[in-house]
Amino acid sequence: MSPMLEVRDLVVSYGKIKAVKGISFSVDEGEVVSLIGTNGAGKTTTLRTISGLLRPTSGSIRFQGKRIDSVAAHEIVTLGLAHSPEGRRIFPRLTVEQNLLLGAFARRDNDVRTDLQAAYDLFPILGERKSQAAGTFSGGEQQMLAMGRAMMSRPKLLMLDEPSMGLSPLMMKTVMSTVTTLQEQGTTILLVEQNAQAALKRATKGYVLEVGQIVLSGSGRELLESDDVRKAYLGED
Amino acid sequence: MSTHDDLTPTNDLPGVDAPAPVRETDRPAYDDDHERTPLLERFPGRGSAAAWPLGLLGVALLVGGTFLSWSYTSNVLGDLSVDFYPNGVQICMIILGLVALVMLLAHQGPLHRLGDWLDTAAAVRILGLGALAYMVITLGIIAVRSGGLINVNPGGWVSTVGALLIALSGLMLVSHQSKDPLFAQTSSWVEIITIVVLLAAVLFGATYALGTSTGGAFSLFLVFAFALAWGLAKAGFFTWVGLIAQKNRQVLMLGAFAVAFLFPFTQGGSDENMSIATQVLIFAATALGLNIVVGLAGLLDLGYIAFLGAGAYVGATMSNSAFATIGWKPPFLVVVLIGACFSAVLGLIIGSPTLRVSGDYLAIVTLAFGEIFRFTMGNLDGTNGPDLTNGPNGIPAIPELNFFGFDFGQPHEILGITIGRFANYYFLLLVIAAIIILVFTRLNNSRIGRGWVAIREDEKAAEAMGVNVFGLKLFAFAGGAFLAGMAGTVKAHHDVSVSPDQYIFLESAFLLAAVVLGGMGTVAGVLIGATILKLLPEKLRFINDYRLMIFGLVLVLMMRFRPEGLVASQRRKLEFHEDDEDLAERIEEVHLEEEEAKA
């Protein structure tokens, strides 16, 4: 079976600077795949290119067998690929519910209410505060909202860009366990993280990115146990 | 003391006691550091029992004075010299007095329960101060016109003292408002009657204001209207009106349209005011189109007048004017469509390269486009290019419209009332305005409208949500141009001629000012803004030289004190007052109530 998402020899440049220098990886259905790496490794650029917000210089991106590297961003969402962007990017002056409904913008069916309830079941706090302006939320709550919003488009593949950023350890635990829940519910997940420990623990597969190139790959467990990863990302020697 | 800040929202029905509001004195001491006692609360005699009877006395004097002669000479502000025959200037004071009376009776007396919902003290205060200002200006005008205060008759003095007493009373009263009018639950017939009464008041007010013969009387009407509106707004009345307007939107829309439709019948066939009214309507319709671009999609367009001009030029060149250069003369309805489409195509041409970049670039490009349009129209005279527009002289002598034998240039009799030339155009423009309003509200409440909200809030996030950012922006831009083009074709016939100098940048600036002043993204606000901006220079000829300065000043003050515009939805307000947690909470409460009502 061909992978759900297949990135091959992807090169992305900002002007003359190459941010991603020919990476290849794949995500199979039902997997949680983690891309880890330090600041400036090209993780966010990769995600933004997959979701169509940036255009690759060369290389190809296939989603469910279809090439999407020249498809418009708003059409990629309708194909079933959701992107929860870096820094969460919720709409601060809109209510929780309006935020969630905008997540379902690309859909044209009438089942949105059911999924709204599903989002409230996943994150009860969203249901309790559905009429509150999202900007008044704490960082963790905003992250829940961002994930709930991304799920509103009923994605087959959910891309999360640093969901743990700026969260307390407790809140991070909640958010990360949601990743597992979503996987169990049948969503494939591509997770970008700086927090290697948290990301790899849950990953079926992992890739380590360094200055635009993949330097290591393997199962989550393999990477966690690898000396290089332990030295570079887990602060052990 | 009970101010707006410490209202406790309750869901109680009127008459059921609400929990006592938090009072200023109950607050911890450290609050005093940044919340010093307002000047108002140090007013001598504040809270005294004398305040209320003082107010009643003031109302009696103010209203009583209007039945006496105000002026010795009979040629000032209409005729103020007749006893027991109040004219318009005096009737304004009667109305203001009666509203103050209602507020006083709500404060204490038969309408006591109403006072739980309204900030009566603030209302009486503003109404009194407004009346006082009104009287002082009136007496000033009498003194200047007829040579000295000696010409003021006793009635004028009596009313002035009355106004002063009301103001004092208002300053001394302490209101007992304990509930937020936002949570008032009223029966629907009360709501509908209120809407009808308000609309009737608008019709009468507009008729009176347009009928005033002197700049002085018109200015006084403005003072009156401003005092009344501000007083009622302070009381919290308009919070409730906004609520019921939302609930009874259809009634309001139909009612407003009926009022606008009835207006020409009050003019008795006179074209004088109708020509102003049609200009206001053209301006308002165009501003509403701009509101889609600016208010809904959040795109700053500084050359919008060019789209109106494009429509007007299409209308002119395809008319039967001797200077029209296009031989093809389709029926007018076809011309309207062609003009609208031509504008929309221009919008697409300008929009498609520039809408990919954000904000400021678009403003600059549209600004330049407006100028390019004007120069192009001035140069297509056969010397520098094809002869299309007759150059700087424009296309004169555009014939009147004629729909199936109905000649717009001739007066017609309808039900015994004469409808003049401008009234004919007024009705046509009303239809155009109605179409634009319909398109506006439909779009606002649609999926497209939600997409625009997302774009306004965060373009990048919107894109990640699957919003076709570029497509929706282009749609707003071209759609706005389409509507302006439509209005432009009618404008050409209404104006009889088109020339490039009608479409200068200043006009675009005024359109934008109307949108910002009235309230971006609202229909009512932009209608009010457009009316104010077009009507004032017409009626107040003497400020014409200074109107740019005055409007500039007003806009600066608006941005400081009410950035959301004259009319704004609660949610829109939040966009400008993000850190106002009370407001956010109130909005949340209302939203929850609506949800419960739905369930």
User: Is the residue at A130 inside a domain?
Assistant: no
User: Is the residue at A32 inside a domain?
Assistant: yes
When divided into structural domains, chain A yields a total of 1
Record: contact A101-B450, CB cut-off 8 A: yes
Domain hosting residue A26, numbered range: 5-90+155-233
User: Is the residue at A96 inside a domain?
Assistant: no
Q: Searching chain B, which residue's CA lies closest to the CA of residue A103? A: B465
Q: Is the pLDDT of residue B13 over 80?
A: no
- Assess A79–B contact: CB distance below 8 Å, yes or no: no
Complex ipTM: 0.87
Q: Give the range among A18-22, A35-39, A192-196, B381-385 with minimum mean pLDDT.
A: B381-385
Q: Give the range among B263-272, B444-453, B521-530, B584-593 with minimum mean pLDDT.
A: B584-593
User: The CATH number of the domain where A218 resides is what?
Assistant: 3.40.50.300
pLDDT digits (tens, 9 = 90+) for A45-70: 999 999 999 999 999 999 999 999 99
Note whether A47 and A33 are within 8 A (CB): no
- Assess A133–B contact: CB distance below 8 Å, yes or no: yes
Q: Is the pLDDT of residue B164 over 80?
A: yes
Please report the pLDDT score of residue B11 as a whole number: 43
Please report the pLDDT score of residue B486 as a whole number: 93
- Assess A105–B contact: CB distance below 8 Å, yes or no: yes
Please report the pLDDT score of residue B534 as a whole number: 87
* Distance in Å, alpha carbon of B186 to nearest chain A alpha carbon: 24
Which of the listed ranges B17-21, B489-493, B545-549 does the model predict with the highest average pLDDT?
B489-493
What's the mean per-residue pLDDT of chain B?
A: 83
Report the pLDDT averaged over residues A98-102.
Answer: 90
Which residues in chain A touch residue B588, judged by CB atoms under 8 angstroms apart?
A: 95, 131-133
Please report the pLDDT score of residue B5 as a whole number: 44
Please report the pLDDT score of residue B379 as a whole number: 86
User: Is the residue at A84 inside a domain?
Assistant: yes
**What backbone torsions phi and psi does residue A16 show, to the nearest 5 degrees?**
-90, -10
Which residues in chain A touch residue B455, judged by CB atoms under 8 angstroms apart?
A: none
User: Is the residue at A139 inside a domain?
Assistant: no
Which one of A50, A71, A74, A158 would you mutate to disrupt binding with B, by most B Cβ within 10 Å of its Cβ?
A74
Please report the pLDDT score of residue B9 as a whole number: 44
User: Is the residue at A43 inside a domain?
Assistant: yes
Which one of B448, B458, B465, B577 would you mutate to disrupt binding with A, by most A Cβ within 10 Å of its Cβ?
B465
pLDDT digits (tens, 9 = 90+) for A5-17: 999 999 999 988 9
What's the mean per-residue pLDDT of chain A?
A: 89
User: Is the residue at A134 inside a domain?
Assistant: no
- Assess A74–B contact: CB distance below 8 Å, yes or no: yes
| Residue whose C-alpha is closest to residue B433's, from B491, B498, B366 | B491
Report the pLDDT averaged over residues B85-113.
Answer: 89
Burial of B492 (0-12, 13-18, 19+ CB in 10 A): buried
pLDDT digits (tens, 9 = 90+) for B30-60: 444 455 667 777 788 788 888 899 999 999 9
Which residues in chain A touch residue B453, judged by CB atoms under 8 angstroms apart?
A: 91, 94, 98, 102
User: Is the residue at A119 inside a domain?
Assistant: no
Please report the pLDDT score of residue B92 as a whole number: 92
Percent of chain A with pLDDT over 90: 38
Q: Is the pLDDT of residue B533 over 90?
A: no
DSSP secondary structure string for all residues of chain A:
---SEEEEEEEEEETTEEEEEEEEEEE-TT-EEEEEE-TTSSHHHHHHHHTTSS--SEEEEEETTEE-TTS-HHHHHHHTEEEE-TT----TTSBHHHHHHHHTTT--SS-HHHHHHHHHHHSHHHHHTTTSBGGGS-HHHHHHHHHHHHHTT--SEEEEE-TTTT--HHHHHHHHHHHHHHHHTT-EEEEEES-HHHHHHH-SEEEEEETTEEEEEE-HHHHHH-HHHHHHHS---
